Structure 1
Amino acid sequence: MSVLLETSVGDIVIDLEVEACPKTCENFLKLCKVYYYNLHAFFNISKDFLAQVGDPTATGTGGESIWSHIASNGGHKAPRYFTPEFIPRLKHKEKGTVSMAVAPALEDGTKGGCGSQFFITLADNIDYLDGKHAVFGHVVEGLDTLDKLNEVFVDQDGRPFKDVRIRHVEILDDPFADPEGLVVPETIPTKPPDNSTRIAEDEDPLATLPEEEAEQERRKKAAQASALTLEMVGDLPFANVRPPENVLFVCKLNPVTRDEDLELIFSRFGTIMSCQVIRDKKTGDSLQYAFIEFDKHEDAEQAYFKMQNVLVDDRRIWVDFSQSVARLNGNKWSNDIHMGPRGGKRSSGFGGREDLVATKRYREGAADRGGYDMVFDVPSNKHHTRRSRSRSPRRDRERDRDRRRSPPHHHDDRHRRRSRSRERYRR
């Protein structure tokens, strides 16, 4: 009775001691049948000692028997482990001995035993394991794979730096009937059960790309980072935005060329949705480039080929497909919000952020509306600042005393008193 383990470093064929260890072999075969071991990582490899696998968490603390697995899937409870089968004649004498790892009893009363974790010895005569872990099989093919396992680089905890995983398990012969309630999944798992941060099994950390490809990769990552930054500040609607394919960029225009002139010239290629000459934000002067949006991509493509280097208002224009996505952000170009002093369109200066435009307008019109000023706005009237100062503490005390003694004054009296105070201050 055999099982084939397809690992990331090679294949391993295990012959099982079905007659000597029936319960252990049944547990192992049925876990293989439900794809329990698929994509499990070898989480503990000790050179010239053993390679351990079978824990879905890859920590050495997880795993369960097939009967516990069936019960948990059905919403019931069952013991996590089963009693190990120790056979005196089955010892860890030869390289490639397969044993179930025996978990110790826990302080909370959980009984120890065998679950799903197993290991394969990587050397001969490891007598230390006899009587402590239950042997149930031997590797008959794939000893070269064990040599590769023995040479992998590991950290201080024995975990390989580069993941070594069981890619698939194939049962070659199974003499046991399925336990009641066993359900075989319809699909094979495609995602590892643990959250590994190790080097992927199909990744070569020492591989280097040619200089040109490496430079392209660096530029691609830099562009992605820049796009994400522009998305965060509001200049792009989303980082992976693509420029529209039906918009042309026209430059080298004559400053006198108007929107309607370009629209009339380019309209012979198809329906134009919008045509805009971009102008200076402050002066309204033409910046000598424009965006023309066609209804169809085919029309824009035809205009691109036909209008290259055409003479318009004594200037040979340059036509290309637009790389701008400004129109996708709020459906406006860069200066689509209000009119400039010469009739040209001007931008708000906030990248299409209407909330920032409203804030700016609120601050500009707060005083006219009689509303609140900003917290740190300080009056700039120097005379007002100087009048707020007293000439001497004695004068302040005399003024306070006079106020307490004198009756309330009419508004005209207060006006005359303030006038006399200003005249004294000027003298």
Structure 2
Amino acid sequence: MENKKKNNNLGIIIGAIVALIAIFGLVYFANKGEKKESTKSAESSSTKTTTSKEDLEKVDLPQLSDKVSDDEAEVKMITEEGDITIKLFPKYAPLAVENFLTHSKKGYYNGVEFFRVVKDFMIQGGDPKNSGTGGESIWNGKDASIDPGTGFRNEVSNHLFHLRGALSMANAGADTNGSQFFIVQNPKDMSDGLLYDEFPTKIIDAYKNGGVPSLDKNYSVFGQVVSGMDVVDKIANGETTANSSGNEKSKPVNPVKIKSIEVIKDYDFKK
């Protein structure tokens, strides 16, 4: 009983720390300086919908399978530390997936570093400046739901969650997605305290293997690592020093670069 209590307390503490990091980290580093947000929030991910528990249990949860289905895409991220294979979800995050696939095909991410690394949280990359202040989407304001120049809108659903291995868009606030992304690395049990009327039972069970549930509904999950989490862990465990603001020990001493991203299975967005 004592060990269980300690574990629960540890889970609560970790959850609180991760939540603070998420709020002051991902928002700060993704396209820092872009403060303008969409004036059309009807389609924003921050909109909450009411779903019954019965409906929650029927929801498709593609992250829980390593199989790549017909309506999914797949890429291999070739890094200096090894390969990370990721399946993508165009059905639920079409803007983010098309953005990522297009950038990958054009070599946009070649040579780009994982510039921000936080052990037991995530690894972040996708910025050609390798600073957290750069990067842009392929849409460049073409998404009609938002104002030009602010990036593209968040795509959040009750099908995708920030489980360990989730690939998600980093941003500077709602609907400001550009090119930066992060892979959730936290391996600790985060299921304690999750409400059964807000999460499918299978997702709560999946969070026992790690993840960051505090990021759900705030960032767009658009992929899931299907192999190569050992590489993600190795990158996350690299030596770090304080970042430029001095508020976080997340700047890699020896940043790991993405050599290239190979599209294993493409997706036709016109169909």
Q: TM-score per shorter chain, which class?
A: 0.5 to 0.7
Is 2:133 the partner of 1:81?
Answer: no
Larger helix fraction of residues: 1
Identity of aligned residues (%): 39
Instruction: Give me the whole-angstrom Cα distance separating, in 2, the residues matched to 1:59 and 1:142.
Output: 25
**Residues 21 and 85, structure 1, Cα contact 8 Å, conserved in 2:** yes
Instruction: Give me the whole-angstrom Cα distance separating, in 1, the residues matched to 2:172 and 2:136.
Output: 10
The residue correspondences of 1:11-410 to structure 2 (distance < 5 A) are: 11-68=83-140, 79-93=149-163, 95-104=164-173, 112-123=175-186, 124-157=210-243, 158-176=250-268
How many residues end up aligned between the 2 structures?
Answer: 165
CA deviations over 1:184-215 (Å, ceiling 9, x no partner): xxxxxxxxxxxxxxxxxxxxxxxxxxxxxxxx
Superposed displacement of residue 78, structure 1 = 5.1
Higher relative contact order by CA 8 Å / sep ≥ 6: 1 or 2?
2
TM norm structure 2: 0.57
Superposed displacement of residue 81, structure 1 = 0.4
Instruction: Give me the whole-angstrom Cα distance separating, in 1, the residues matched to 2:95 and 2:268.
Output: 10
Superposed displacement of residue 8, structure 1 = 0.7
**Residues 141 and 152, structure 2, Cα contact 8 Å, conserved in 1:** no
Distance 1:80 1:36, change over 3 A: farther
Q: Which residue is 1:74 aligned to?
A: none
Instruction: Give me the whole-angstrom Cα distance separating, in 2, the residues matched to 1:88 and 1:59.
Output: 32
Superposed displacement of residue 151, structure 1 = 1.3
Instruction: Give me the whole-angstrom Cα distance separating, in 2, the residues matched to 1:176 and 1:23.
Output: 13
**Residues 76 and 86, structure 2, Cα contact 8 Å, conserved in 1:** yes
**Residues 26 and 176, structure 1, Cα contact 8 Å, conserved in 2:** no
CA deviations over 1:96-132 (Å, ceiling 9, x no partner): 1110112227xxxxxx421100000112131111111
**Residues 64 and 80, structure 1, Cα contact 8 Å, conserved in 2:** no
Q: Which residue is 2:9 aligned to?
A: none
Instruction: Give me the whole-angstrom Cα distance separating, in 2, the residues matched to 1:164 and 1:91.
Output: 26
Q: Secondary structure at the match of 1:164?
A: coil
**Residues 65 and 82, structure 1, Cα contact 8 Å, conserved in 2:** yes
Superposed displacement of residue 154, structure 1 = 0.7
Residue segments in structure 1 that go unaligned for 5+ positions in a row: 71-76, 106-111, 179-427
Residue segments in structure 2 that go unaligned for 5+ positions in a row: 1-72, 187-209, 244-249
Superposed displacement of residue 80, structure 1 = 4.5
Superposed displacement of residue 146, structure 1 = 1.3
Superposed displacement of residue 69, structure 1 = 9.8
CA deviations over 1:65-103 (Å, ceiling 9, x no partner): 012299xxxxxx95240111011231113x211101122
**Residues 184 and 211, structure 2, Cα contact 8 Å, conserved in 1:** no
**Residues 76 and 85, structure 2, Cα contact 8 Å, conserved in 1:** yes
TM norm structure 1: 0.37
Q: Secondary structure at the match of 2:214?
A: helix
**Residues 88 and 222, structure 2, Cα contact 8 Å, conserved in 1:** yes
**Residues 98 and 138, structure 1, Cα contact 8 Å, conserved in 2:** yes
Tell me which stretches of 4 or more aligned residues in structure 1 moved more than 4 Å: none
